[in-house]
Structure 1
Amino acid sequence: MTSCGESVQVALCGLGNMGSAIAGRLTDAGLPALVFDLDAERTRRAAEASGAAAAASVAELATADVVLLSLPTPKASLEVVAELAPLMRADGVIAETSTVNPPDMAAAGEVCAPHGVGIIDAAILSGVSQMRCGAAALLVGGEDRHVRKAEPVLDAISGSIRRFGPLGSGMSAKVLNNAVAHAVMVVLSEAGALAAATGVSGTALAELLGGADAGLTRPLTHRFVERILRAEYEGGMPTEAARKDSALVLDLAQQTNVPLFALQSTHTVYELGLAQGLGRYDYSAIATLWEQWTGRPMSETGDGSGGE
């Protein structure tokens, strides 16, 4: 990444908790920053705390080389982009740090393109405290030339920048990461309830699941990376055995009066896998169901046909 010492003017629109933390990172890095929020008092406080200059309107931000957005909704972001793009220099770049979906980034890109303004997604994976201390991770998507233009700014606010691909890919990565985390939280809550009902301590369960070959890590490191991405489903633990184990936990939940939501719904997939002839293949072969349903392979071998 490019050094933060390069001369670049940066502006920031949106001064909530995350936006205020970003403002502090910018001024700590010595970048001349101009900040704005619809709430004038919030703008004043953030400018005072960070040492940035306060803008009186969105239009004033258009003088910057790079404009960062930290806004509450996709609609708000698109409205700001629509106001900024016609006013910015043709080589200016808008960097979206708010959490939006890839189609939102595509819509913003369409607004920017006629004016020669670039736009990238710089999704923030970390929380406010990590941003404040410089440990936040950014998931970046967009054209290389636009990312390069914004590099001094990205370097200033992030201790870890991960490049994913075209516009929208960084946002997609964040949404997917969060979806997995939120789904896992439900599964862990169900597992914890079952553990409490059957005399297994939560500490012991956490130690078990955290192991390299256990239920949290093994599906990712072995089954997703080594099997699904390579379309290698021969051998391993058969889908029919996974279905049997899934049925056992449903029985256990009934016996202990523990309500299930995530584990109940995942069992359906294994039933579908057996119906599709995947019984003797490794249970990661359930991924091929989604390949059939979407018509898009997950494997990176160019095959994606799996074990069928």
Structure 2
Amino acid sequence: MTNTQALRAGVVGLGMIGGGVAVSLARSGRVPAVYDIRPDASDMLEGVSAPLASPAAVAKDSDVVMVAVVDAAQARTVIAGDGGLLSGAHPGLTIVLQSTVALPVVHELAELCAKAEVGFLDCGVTPGDKAAEHGMVAIIGGEQSVVDHARPVLDDWAKKVVHCGPLGAGMATKIARNVVTYGTWRTVTEAAALAVAADVEPARLAEVIDTADPEGRTLLQLLRMRGADGTLPEPVARRIEPLMTKDLDAARDLAAALGVDTPLVDVTRAEAERTLGLDAGPTPSAVDEDPIQRGLAMMDTVYGPGFSASMPEQLDPYTNETVEHLFGEIWNRPDLSVRDRRLLVIGATAALGRDDLMQIQVQGALTNEELTANQLKEAVLHLAFYVGWGNATAAHRGISAALAAHSAAAQNTVKESR
């Protein structure tokens, strides 16, 4: 290959996704060679040329070919069948499979491509209805060198390219994402049934969810809290469990009162401990046995993941006592929640008149979604009559600074997701 601009693109399959990819490529100035079993498939696709005679012809005129067909059988045909892409392959060709197929099929097709010295990537895509608007995410699996080679073409039709790992990782991630989508649809169906039975219009439920959770933060909160091994830190799981079961019990009580069938709610309640990784019961761990590690883990629970990393490896006597005793023992006692203890500390911090310490506490409360902005503002007014106007002014400064930082971080997250 010469340079990134010289890379030629191809698309096989001009349905909603493939046709949209072809339009996005054409708008970017990289007009693709295309193929579809329908001779008129590109007639309504802006800037896209007429289909060539075969996938082989597309391969000859392309360096990176997206395959967007319906199923595994069609993928096999257009890649390895008579007149397929491999029959027209040349050195440097890369095939990007966008069809959702089983992982064994991904590896089967990759082996066929490897024998022909053709690069291969599996590429889940979402959302399909945004393909023509450069609005899809490309969920990639494959070798880094192959991804790097195809990247200029991928960037011309995807708003974001996420390399998930080796071959098959893209497809696995897309399938897992689909589980979230369709599982949520079932959840929404039961929630809507509850709302309707209680004389609430589904549109009002949607309005509440859109307003309270516009970026799906709550929906994905549990996913973001999991470590690289897929498990939740046990202190976090044990903090969530009573809230989760309480709310699910309330949903079951409401469903029973209204005569609404909610099997998913019942299963979710029955599997609550397993969902949080607590089904095996409490077992001794390195964190449980080591008071320092237990204290560091609680620091991350109180102030957010990664906070404990700011602690030095060698702790002086004061810091050691703070980690081991204050966080390892006091904050870990069961009769008060982290939120309860937070409110006590916020009151004590206000009495000190320390806006810097107040900011740290409020940042932790916002990270854990323990208190809202309005609740924090109300707290300042309430505290003023107990700690004095001067100390409350310092508390107000600390709370305002934390709210501003939290809002800025949220806005950056939204921008990065676009």
State TM-score, norm by structure 2. 0.57
Q: Answer with 166-175 or 200-209: which moved more.
A: 200-209
Cα displacement (A) at 1:76: 0.7
Q: 2-side partners of 1:275 and 1:30: how far apart?
A: 55
Cα displacement (A) at 1:119: 0.7
Is the CA contact (8 Å cut-off) linking 1:12 and 1:23 kept in structure 2? Answer: yes
Give ranges in structure 2 of 5+ residues lacking alignment: 284-418
Cα displacement (A) at 1:217: 3.7
Q: Which residue of 2 aligns with 1:78?
A: 76
**Is 1:254 matched up with 2:256?**
yes
Is the CA contact (8 Å cut-off) linking 2:64 and 2:150 kept in structure 1? Answer: yes
Cα displacement (A) at 1:7: 0.3
Is the CA contact (8 Å cut-off) linking 1:140 and 1:163 kept in structure 2? Answer: yes
Is the CA contact (8 Å cut-off) linking 1:27 and 1:51 kept in structure 2? Answer: yes
**Is 1:226 matched up with 2:233?**
no
RMSD: 3.0
Is the CA contact (8 Å cut-off) linking 2:16 and 2:128 kept in structure 1? Answer: no
Q: 2:47 aligns with which of 35, 45, 50?
A: 50
Tell me which amino acid in the other structure corresponds to 1:33: P
Q: Which residue of 2 aligns with 1:122?
A: 123
Q: Which residue of 1 aligns with 2:99?
A: 98
Q: How many residues align?
A: 271
Q: 2-side partners of 1:159 and 1:227: how far apart?
A: 26
Is the CA contact (8 Å cut-off) linking 1:15 and 1:46 kept in structure 2? Answer: no
Give ranges in structure 1 of 5+ residues lacking alignment: 280-308
Q: Which residue of 2 aligns with 1:172?
A: 172
Q: 2-side partners of 1:5 and 1:243: how far apart?
A: 54
Q: 1:269 aligns with which of 268, 271, 284?
A: 271
Give the 3-state SS of the residue equivalent to 2:271 in structure 1.
helix
Identity of aligned residues (%): 28
Q: 1-side partners of 2:147 and 2:66: how far apart?
A: 13
Q: Write the mapping of 1:1-308 to structure 2, written as runs, cut at 5 A.
A: 6-42=5-41, 45=43, 49-63=46-60, 64-82=62-80, 83-128=84-129, 130-200=130-200, 202=202, 205-206=205-206, 208-209=208-209, 217-218=217-218, 220-221=220-221, 223-227=222-226, 229=230, 231-234=232-235, 236-237=238-239, 239=241, 242-243=244-245, 245-270=247-272, 276-277=280-281
Cα displacement (A) at 1:148: 1.7
Q: 2-side partners of 1:164 and 1:57: how far apart?
A: 31
| Cα distance change, pair 34–254 in 1 and its aligned pair in 2 (3 A) | same
What are the Cα deviations for residues 25-81 of structure 1, in whole angstroms up to 9, with x where unaligned? 2222222421111122325x267x424253111221221211111101122112222
**Structure with greater helix share of residues:** 2
Q: 2-side partners of 1:159 and 1:270: how far apart?
A: 36
| Cα distance change, pair 33–217 in 1 and its aligned pair in 2 (3 A) | closer
Cα displacement (A) at 1:87: 3.2
Tell me which amino acid in the other structure corresponds to 1:56: A
Cα displacement (A) at 1:109: 0.6
Find the structure with the greater CA-based Rg.
Answer: 2
Give the 3-state SS of the residue equivalent to 1:67 in structure 2.
strand
Q: Answer with 115-124 or 94-103: which moved more.
A: 94-103
| Cα distance change, pair 105–18 in 1 and its aligned pair in 2 (3 A) | same
| Cα distance change, pair 135–241 in 1 and its aligned pair in 2 (3 A) | closer
Give the 3-state SS of the residue equivalent to 1:6 in structure 2.
helix
Cα displacement (A) at 1:187: 0.8
Is the CA contact (8 Å cut-off) linking 1:119 and 1:142 kept in structure 2? Answer: yes
Q: 2-side partners of 1:240 and 1:133: how far apart?
A: 44
Cα displacement (A) at 1:256: 1.0
Is the CA contact (8 Å cut-off) linking 2:126 and 2:137 kept in structure 1? Answer: yes
Is the CA contact (8 Å cut-off) linking 1:13 and 1:36 kept in structure 2? Answer: yes
Q: 1-side partners of 2:157 and 2:93: how far apart?
A: 18
Is the CA contact (8 Å cut-off) linking 1:13 and 1:67 kept in structure 2? Answer: yes
